[in-house]
Amino acid sequence: MNRRPALSLLILLFCLILLAACADTPAGTPTTTAPSPAGEGLAITSPDGRLETRFWLDEAGAPYYQVTRDGQPVIQPSRMGFVLADRPLNSGFAISDSQTSSFDDTWEQPWGEVQFIRNQYNELRVDLQESGAEPRQMTIVFRLYDDGLGFRYEWPEQPHLAAFEIMDESTEFVLSGDHQAWWIPAYLDNRYEFLYKQTSLSSLNRPTFRAMHTPMTMATADGLFLTIHEASLVDFASMTLAVTGDTTLKADLVPWSDGVLVRASAPHRSPWRTIQIADSAAGLLTSHLILNLNEPNRLADISWTRPGKYIGIWWGMHLDTYTWGSGPQHGATTANTQAYMDFAARYGFDGVLVEGWNVGWDGDWFRNGENFQFTTPYDDFDIAAVTAYGRELGVALIGHHETGAAVLNYEAQLPQAFAYYQDLGVHLVKTGYVGAGQSIKRIDEATGEVVREWHHGQFMVRHYQYVAELAAEYQIMLDIHEPIKDTGLRRTYPNMMTREGARGMEYNAWSADGGNPPEHETILPFTRMMAGPMDFTPGIFDLLFAEARPGNRVNTTLAKQLALYVVLYSPWQMAADLPANYEGQPAFQFILDVPVDWRDTQVLHAQIGDYVTYVRQDRGSDDWYLGSVTDEEARVLEAPLTFLTPGVTYVAEIYADDPAGDWQTNPLALTITQMLVDSETLLTLRLAAGGGQAIRFRPATPAELAP
């Protein structure tokens, strides 16, 4: 036998194995070895005993964790730790101390999708100490809830760790199988504004994108639903998820322009890495783990943070019938704003958003954000007259700060800009950071050079935080567009009301890909909305607007537009269409009635990407509201009304797709009917293709009960 080919084959095989082993290994991060803990290490269970998290160190002192549910693996043995600029901080540890504790408290949201939230968890704190010269310390804190796990890293004050730079996070999420995943890519120009894709984990084709944003949701073959995200993102880089193996995800922190991921000095701590776990898709939607992992309210007086409904000089710009910039079609004129305020007062809206009011919009504003001036209105916008007019009517001006992502220009003007608005009685400001990819200008302190940052790196995390804290000093609430993703900070800073951070309604006005397909709003609740409220801006009644933008339309029925007010939670909800399109429309009544602050939220049906039905109880009355939406398939869903108070008869005011309705061929066909119902009624919801249904349940009056 000729032994040469056999030897070459052997060498080739060896190289291939070596290559495969190295391919997924970022510098300094050891590969996962999947040690078997078999009862070793430290463990806690969830309050209901079903989840268990186990922590241990392998022979090299590298930290690992795993999660099981009813004894079955959810997260397989997964690496933890970091790589710092001078040396890794992910092995060579010994456990110097550990503590377990339990917590159970119920807290009240000042506003929100439920009034009271139970915060019940078991905690494990593990203090790690390196061996060898100049040893460093790191603490890992695990909090295990019935609905999932949060863990964070803490760096206490210590002799051998002062200022430090994180170059890699070793945290892995080794999943128990090849789950279905709903995800959007990170590190692309449009920030978070993508259509969600559904693929198996193993089919994620790494060369086409670097990582995925969180929240990222998965369904397992045996019926579990998981969402990976983070809570309390403060002075750190956002975590995205890189695919480093068929079923392995790894933290990929959005870097500064020089490649450093996080700059910190001890004491410091990371955000919570979160894994929400439910045995139904509906179970994910009522998890409050993200809010529970945030700190309680830090603002002294929050009486001025309140939800509301608004209209705006806004959709007209997206349809090209108005302009943001000055000229004959300028939308933000005194007269136009006063007309919008008249409409708002007539129908009880709290505010009118006015975009394009300040100098800076003329020309290519998204490339010239440095021209924006936040205290200089255009000549045809008399802001003092407009706010005085609104005051008389009980309608607030909602402020607008588009920055064009020129953050330095914005920060230089911020205190004056907020003071200016506060003096005028403006208490809600919509901010905007239009800018593509890694384009945010920063002057590097060390070199004096201009560098460019991502929307989601530590530089911008700090910026968004600064704006929120400063706004609070001026009693200003925020609605942030092109935001940092929500990680539940509204609990700590209740003036962080709502934000965009996904493809909203505006994409239907102008996007070249035909807008948001009907399934979009059936995926958002399980992905983007797992982070928190969204200013989606529903309520378009003129769905086709063929004259304004012949190539575009809204890809839903009219009833689905109404249902979105219940499905997509936001404490500030917009009636986004032009006022003229609401006049004389019976369906407008639902937008006028629907609350924006809820006592309770329940989910009746949930199938990711197919359909979802929410019911929510008004915080201010005994009314309940139902919103149900479907994708491009028509559906018949049975809704038991067991959430209604037993023994009380309600009038159900039903806004339904017409039997002949269809988002493509007959989107406007809607029927409004009323019927008496109670908690024993089983209601049949018929949703057209691309359709929805919206219902108000109010206690019947004696006259309505009379036979």
> Closest approach of Cβ 632 to ligand NOJ, in Å?
25
The Cα–Cα gap between 434 and 438 comes to 12
> Closest approach of Cβ 556 to ligand NOJ, in Å?
19
| Residue 528 binding ligand NOJ, by CB under 6 A | no
- Closer residue to ligand NOJ, CB minimum distance, 169 or 500: 500
- Closer residue to ligand NOJ, CB minimum distance, 58 or 402: 402
> Closest approach of Cβ 136 to ligand NOJ, in Å?
43
> Closest approach of Cβ 398 to ligand NOJ, in Å?
12
Q: Are 59 and 91 in contact (CB under 8 A)?
A: no
* CA distances from residue 5 to 14, 88, 309, 706 in whole angstroms, order as listed: 14, 41, 76, 95
Q: Three-class SS of residue 246?
A: coil
Find the distance separating the first CA and the last CA of the chain, reported in whole Å: 100
> Closest approach of Cβ 212 to ligand NOJ, in Å?
22
Q: In 10 A of CB 105, how many CB atoms? A: 11
Angle (CA) 368 369 375, round 5°:
130
- Closer residue to ligand NOJ, CB minimum distance, 92 or 432: 432
The Cα–Cα gap between 202 and 13 comes to 23
| Residue 252 binding ligand NOJ, by CB under 6 A | no
Site string for ligand NOJ, 504-523 (x = CB under 6 A): --x-----------------
Q: Catalytic residue among 172, 230, 482, 506, which?
A: 506
- Closer residue to ligand NOJ, CB minimum distance, 269 or 481: 481
- Closer residue to ligand NOJ, CB minimum distance, 67 or 502: 502
Q: If you count them, how many residues does the chain have?
A: 707
> Closest approach of Cβ 402 to ligand NOJ, in Å?
4
- Closer residue to ligand NOJ, CB minimum distance, 506 or 521: 506
- Closer residue to ligand NOJ, CB minimum distance, 179 or 309: 309
> Which residue shows structure tokens 């198996």?
200
> Closest approach of Cβ 478 to ligand NOJ, in Å?
14
The Cα–Cα gap between 597 and 594 comes to 9
Which residues lie closer than 8 Å to 372 by C-beta, 6 or more apart?
358, 359, 360, 361, 365, 401, 402, 403, 404, 406, 409, 410
| Residue 499 binding ligand NOJ, by CB under 6 A | no
The Cα–Cα gap between 267 and 161 comes to 9
Q: Three-class SS of residue 278?
A: strand
What sign does the CA torsion over 198, 203, 205, 211 have? positive
> Which residue shows structure tokens 């504003």?
365
Using N-to-C axis directions, what is the helix angle for 458-473 and 407-423, rounded to 10°?
Answer: 10
Phi-psi group of 226: left, alpha or beta (phi > 0 → left; psi -120 to 50 → alpha; rest → beta)? beta
What are the structure tokens assigned to 32, written together?
Answer: 């996962």
Q: Three-class SS of residue 175?
A: strand
> Closest approach of Cβ 240 to ligand NOJ, in Å?
21
- HEC string for 202-227: HHCCHHHCCCECCCEEEECCCCCEEE
The Cα–Cα gap between 587 and 589 comes to 5
Q: How far is CA 213 from the centre of its chain?
A: 10
Closest C-alpha to 410, from 433, 428, 436:
433
Q: In 10 A of CB 505, how many CB atoms? A: 24
Choice from 455, 481, 599, 616 touching ligand NOJ (CB under 6 A): 481
Tell me which amino acid residue 278 is. Answer: A
The Cα–Cα gap between 125 and 131 comes to 19
Scanning residues 296 to 325, which ones bind ligand NOJ (CB under 6 A)?
314
Q: How many residues bind ligand NOJ (CB under 6 A)?
A: 8
- Closer residue to ligand NOJ, CB minimum distance, 355 or 577: 355
| Residue 402 binding ligand NOJ, by CB under 6 A | yes
Scanning residues 62 to 91, which ones bind ligand NOJ (CB under 6 A)?
none
Tell me which amino acid residue 188 is. Answer: L
Q: Are 405 and 455 in contact (CB under 8 A)?
A: yes
Q: Three-class SS of residue 68?
A: strand
> Closest approach of Cβ 500 to ligand NOJ, in Å?
5
**215: preceding bond cis by omega (within 30 degrees):** yes
Q: Are 170 and 156 in contact (CB under 8 A)?
A: no
What are the structure tokens assigned to 589, written together?
Answer: 């009544």
- Closer residue to ligand NOJ, CB minimum distance, 437 or 620: 437
- Closer residue to ligand NOJ, CB minimum distance, 204 or 471: 471
What are the structure tokens assigned to 482, written together?
Answer: 């092109």
Q: Is 423 exposed, middle or buried (0-12, 13-18, 19+ CB in 10 A)?
A: exposed
> Which residue shows structure tokens 């304004």?
548
Choice from 168, 252, 350, 355 touching ligand NOJ (CB under 6 A): 355
> Closest approach of Cβ 69 to ligand NOJ, in Å?
39
Q: Judge whether 500 counts as a catalytic residue.
A: no
> Closest approach of Cβ 358 to ligand NOJ, in Å?
11
- Closer residue to ligand NOJ, CB minimum distance, 54 or 191: 191
> Closest approach of Cβ 505 to ligand NOJ, in Å?
9
Closest C-alpha to 232, from 263, 187, 274, 186:
274
| Residue 500 binding ligand NOJ, by CB under 6 A | yes
Scanning residues 411 to 470, which ones bind ligand NOJ (CB under 6 A)?
432, 434
> Which residue shows structure tokens 């969180």?
214
Which residues lie closer than 8 Å to 572 by C-beta, 6 or more apart?
307, 308, 309, 310, 428, 477, 479, 497, 498, 535, 596
Active site residues: 506
Instruction: Provide the binding-site residues for ligand NOJ, judged by CB under 6 A.
Output: 314, 355, 402, 432, 434, 481, 500, 506
